[in-house]
Chains A and B, each alone.
Chain A
Amino acid sequence: MKPDRADVPEPGVPLPSLRSTYGLVQWLSSTDHKQLGIMYLWTGLFFFLVGGLEAMLMRLQLAWPELNLLGPEAYNQLFTMHGTTMVFLVLMPTLIGLATYFLPLMIGANEMAFPRLNAMSLWVTILGGFLLNFSFLAGGAPDAGWFSYAPLSEQNYSFSNGLDYYSIGLIVTGIGSIGAALNFVVTTVTMRVKGMGLGRLPLFVWMVFINSFLILAAFPLLNAGLFMLLIDRQLGAHFFLPSSGGSALLWQHFFWAFGHPEVYILALPGFGIISEVIPVFSRKKIYGYGTLAGSTVFIALLSFGVWAHHMFAAGLGNPVNTFFAAGSMLIGIPTGIKIVNWIATMWGGAVYFSTSMLFALAFIVDFTLGGLSGVAFAIVPIDWRVTDTYFVVAHIHYVFLGGTLFTIFAGIYYWFPKISGRMLSERLGKWHFWLFLLGFNMTFLFQHLLGMMGMPRRVYTYPDLPWYGILNFISTVGAAMMGVAMLIFIWNIFHSLRKGVKADKNPWGAWTLEWHASSPPSLKNFGELSPVRTERALLDWEEDKKN
């Protein structure tokens, strides 16, 4: 029987399901935040494979000195597309996807504030991703690095249309991100369940909320810069061309005024995931809710005042460098507070080492390492010595993989039962974890050494200097291990979706509201919810039942 109203999807059909009257069309036309969240996650996974493949090709080329598998042009395109893909099409969509799925559930809402805007954000993001990658077919991918420094990114140095696709693709995905951020802000402010004051928000929601302000402030700056670059390239303007009155430095200012907050846009939701996972698997209340939430605001504010630490080597002068060095080091304080809080949460708790918790622990260790090399970069003379070497490559990967990606894995293993109604295999999960952790540290720990020895980044090959060959080879082997780990992860997902152990409502014994809905939640997330009294609502309700 056909439903008289085309509810998407139909109530009563558990998600994620293709079994519906309208089949795939129902997914494509969906405005349900859970379906959109799932599609965000698939988008992230798809582009992760694309970006990962690009990384594998690069590591293959660098496996040994003076190899010549890829030419310099191909290599330039690969490292540019790898960085751009991973930042804009993998980490952002995945974090936004998790937030799209879980933010309404965690605050006891049945939908986002603007379901159709939500759908637009997803499809615009995907469109931008395809535009960006279409450049491969249209004569050449962008090849000036993910930051596209002018004037290298201008017409007279970059001949293919790659940089035009880069500008348009990123503008389009940026519009998608702004749409998602607007939705998160309004949903969080207006749709919380009764009793959930801002001081009782689950920390993931709290950090996505703060993060949305960062997105709203940072992306317009990037878009303005990208429009100027596009106008330069297509209409013959002079914004970033020093030879005819423009300023290449201005591009760097625009890019990093966006780019530095972007680092936190990728980190903060991850911090939120960790703040959900660690207390549940330590069976303890989060230590210092107030400081964890407050330090987030502090980070968000600071992140806009430190962009020029990406430009220490650009010659801005000592007073400017000193100011930005000091500002950058200040960020160590709120971040340190968070690390202390997470460790204090585990202290004396009954820690259960699920795959999710293992990734959370690996996050704490590797993100701290990445943070420390970040402090090293904030010291101007050290920055001058190691900038544009593999030390930077190692640092950014410690922060983005050891930081954001590990939190995403922790989040996926934690929330998969809720999304699919089935558990991921813990056995495969642990293989995934150990292989990935080992591969990750093999790849990037040794790149610190390469960087200190002076190996420049963005070179497609290198001479046979002492240690260069063997360190690069270890790096490549590590990358291959990460690749194998990812195959295990993907196998785990597909296998568990079909044959995984059925999950009940609250398999981890967690306390936040999303675990009150069925697994997977029905179209309408909740019936009536009674008001919450603390940030551990489920625990309260359980105690109420006992009394």
Chain B
Amino acid sequence: MEYRQTRLLMQFFIASEALFFVALIVAYVYFRNLTDDWAESAKYLDIRRTGIFTIFLFSSSGTITVANWALRKQKRGVLVGALVVTIVFGAIFLAGQATEYYMLYERGVKISMNIFGSAFFTLTGFHGFHVFVGLIILSVFLTLVLLGSFKGNGPFSAFLATEWYWHFVDAVWVFVFFFVYLRPLL
């Protein structure tokens, strides 16, 4: 019962969050077609560099699946390892985003520069924020596991909810990466 409820809650919560990102992506694409601020600004984006960080983020979707498997099989060592790797991969992605922001900032690309800056930083920033929230939740789980509390149904369904949230954040990045980085090259 509780498991089923958490599952449903998460499904609808994620659907609702997805619409939030749909709105942000629509704004980005709309402005991209509307204005020509892009030509001069978007050239600062480094797809190869971001691509490498993207691989880390996508890999963390795999490691969190391993963590969930380990939790179900009660393999504590694997669980700790997979959680740590997931958190590190997520953190590497965030660090990549931070340095990217810094490099853009040094070249004068700011949220207030033009409509490209506004749309770019808002979209990627909200995604980064979601990654950050996911990292906090995962760290709480890691702490709980290290303290020895990783049995029972409660953490199980809550962990599944977190896993879905993490997959969702990755899935959003697929679209963000496509529209922001890949699309201009096609």
Contacts and interface: CB of A to CB of B under 8 A. Distances in A.
Interface of A: 113-114, 117, 178, 182, 185-186, 189-190, 216-217, 219-221, 223-225, 227-228, 231-232, 235-239, 244-247, 250, 254
Contacts of B35: 245
27 contacts: A182-B9, A182-B16, A186-B5, A186-B12, A189-B8, A217-B19, A220-B23, A224-B20, A224-B27, A227-B126, A231-B122, A237-B111, A238-B114, A238-B118, A239-B31, A239-B119, A239-B122, A244-B114, A245-B115, A246-B31, A246-B115, A246-B118, A247-B30, A247-B31, A247-B34, A250-B30, A254-B23
Given A178-B16, A231-B111, A238-B115, 17 more contacts: A182-B12, A190-B1, A221-B23, A223-B20, A227-B122, A238-B112, A238-B118, A239-B31, A239-B119, A239-B122, A244-B114, A245-B34, A245-B35, A245-B37, A246-B31, A246-B115, A250-B30
A224 B23 contact: yes
B17 A220 contact: yes
A185 B13 CA distance: 11
B114 A245 contact: yes
Interface residues of B, number: 30
Contacts of A217: 15-16, 19
Nearest to A222: B23
A185 B12 contact: yes
Query: Which of B30, B35, B118, B119 has most A Cβ within 10 Å?
Result: B118
Contacts of B126: 227
Contacts, number: 89
A265 B14 CA distance: 20
B65 to A, nearest CB: 25
B4 interface: yes
Given A190-B1, A236-B112, A238-B115, A114 B9 contact: yes
B19 A231 contact: no
B117 interface: yes
Contacts of B118: 228, 231-232, 237-239, 246
Interface string B17-60: 10110011001001100110100000000000000000000000
A223 B1 CA distance: 32
Contacts of A247: 30-31, 34
Contacts of B119: 239
Contacts of B1: 190
A186 B1 CA distance: 11
Contacts of A238: 112, 114-115, 118
Nearest to A215: B16
Contacts of A237: 111-112, 117-118, 121-122
Nearest to B125: A231
